[in-house]
């Protein structure tokens, strides 16, 4: 896609699932990729290997650079260090993908303040801190840039038992719009991609159980869960110059899940 070759990109939580697929896809588009992981580097190493294999197709030194960066996005000092490391190693940072995310299931009247803060801390505060540090850098170097937040259909669909997750993604919508408006004149575009039900480790409660999977898929108008690669394709589009005139938007990649699926049959 236009405008991605040679762009320096940081993808948070890129050692599995959607983040891993985004890193691979952006490397295939010619981006240099900084792969963030929280604790163990093994998943991030797997991402790096797959990304370079697919991007370079066994050609040595195909021009795509990669970097593993440890950091907990909910910790301010980690985020500052992570962005500084990427800028130091790559020379700049053009594209930030705020993908790291967690969820906990609990009745809303029982969730502890610590559990609530943990989810908000990673999904919302962490995304904001990464955006803040990236924007600071872009303004200092007077560069244009792109930020993409990985939201969720639960940005707009309420999710009982997951109140902190729903709040974090709802807040992400406003963060996307606010930052998009504030920095539009500096050439910084901020958008969200909101996946529907996607087959990744975060959903292992139903992806490996055919009965539960069938129930989930019965609510999806197009009848199937999505893949990480389908989410990564939307991210690549929004990151590219094909989307040069798009900012402040959420692109729902959900096979119609947000279309009130129960109204499929007009007589029901
Ligand atoms: P996943 O569990 O595979 O990925 C989440 C990643 O975030 C993991 O690699 C994890 O290590 C990382 N992470 C967690 N806490 C972190 C922290 N403090 N610092 C840095 N990294 C951290 O699940 P996924 O489905 O690929 O989720 C990726 C994003 O997509 C999340 O933001 C999630 O909310 C969103 N999403 C997923 C779905 C879905 O159905 N899978 C649907 C909507 C939105």
ipTM comes to 0.99
Q: Each residue of 1-49: pLDDT tens digit?
A: 999 999 999 999 999 999 999 999 999 999 999 999 999 999 999 999 9
**Which two structure tokens, joined as six digits, stand for 174?**
């406003």
Q: Which residues on neighbouring strands pair with residue 11, listed in sequence order?
A: 35, 97
Q: Each residue of 108-161: pLDDT tens digit?
A: 999 999 999 999 999 999 999 999 999 999 999 999 999 999 999 999 999 999
Q: Each residue of 171-214: pLDDT tens digit?
A: 999 999 999 999 999 999 999 999 999 999 889 989 999 999 99
pLDDT at 268 over 60: no
* Catalytic residue annotation: 165
Cα separation, 90 vs 9, whole angstroms: 9
Distance 201 CA to ligand 1 centre (A): 8
pTM, entire model: 0.98
Determine whether the shortest distance from the Cβ of 203 to ligand 1 is under 6 A: yes
Determine whether the shortest distance from the Cβ of 226 to ligand 1 is under 6 A: no
Determine whether the shortest distance from the Cβ of 18 to ligand 1 is under 6 A: yes
Cα separation, 83 vs 36, whole angstroms: 10
pLDDT of 111 reads: 98
Cα separation, 211 vs 138, whole angstroms: 48
User: Among the atoms of ligand 1, which is closest to the Cα of residue 73?
Assistant: 19
* Residues 92, 134 contacting (CB under 8 angstroms): no
Residue at token pair 């096979």: 255
Distance 226 CA to ligand 1 centre (A): 15
175 vs 60, 178, 181, 235, CA distance in Å? Answer: 40, 5, 10, 18
For helices 42-56 and 17-28, angle between their N-to-C axes, nearest 10 degrees: 30
């Amino acid at each position: 896609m236009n405008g991605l070759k040679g762009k320096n990109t940081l993808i948070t939580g890129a050692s599995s699932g959607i983040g891993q697929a985004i890193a691979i896809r952006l490397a295939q588009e010619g981006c240099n990729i900084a792969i963030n992981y929280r604790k163990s580097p093994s998943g991030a190493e797997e991402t790096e290997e797959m990304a370079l294999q697919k991007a370079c197709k066994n050609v040595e030194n195909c021009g795509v650079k990669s970097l593993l960066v440890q950091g907990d996005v909910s910790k301010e000092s980690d985020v500052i260090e992570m962005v500084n490391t990427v800028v130091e190693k790559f020379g700049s940072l053009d594209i930030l993908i705020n993908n790291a995310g967690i969820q906990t299931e609990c009745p809303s009247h029982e969730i502890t303040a610590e559990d609530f803060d943990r989810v908000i801390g990673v999904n919302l505060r962490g995304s904001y801190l990464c955006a803040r540090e990236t924007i600071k850098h872009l303004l200092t170097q007077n560069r244009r840039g792109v930020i993409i937040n990985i939201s969720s259909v639960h940005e707009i669909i309420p999710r009982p038992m997951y109140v902190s997750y729903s709040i974090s993604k709802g807040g992400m919508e406003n963060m996307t719009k606010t930052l998009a408006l504030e920095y539009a004149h500096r050439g910084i575009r901020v958008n969200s991609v909101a996946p529907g039900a996607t087959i990744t480790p975060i959903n292992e409660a139903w992806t490996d159980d055919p009965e539960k999977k069938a129930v989930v898929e019965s609510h999806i108008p197009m009848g199937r869960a999505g893949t990480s690669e389908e989410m990564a394709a939307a991210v690549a589009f929004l990151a590219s110059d094909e989307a040069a005139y798009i900012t402040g938007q959420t692109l729902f990649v959900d096979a119609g899940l947000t279309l009130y699926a129960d109204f499929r049959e007009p007589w029901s």
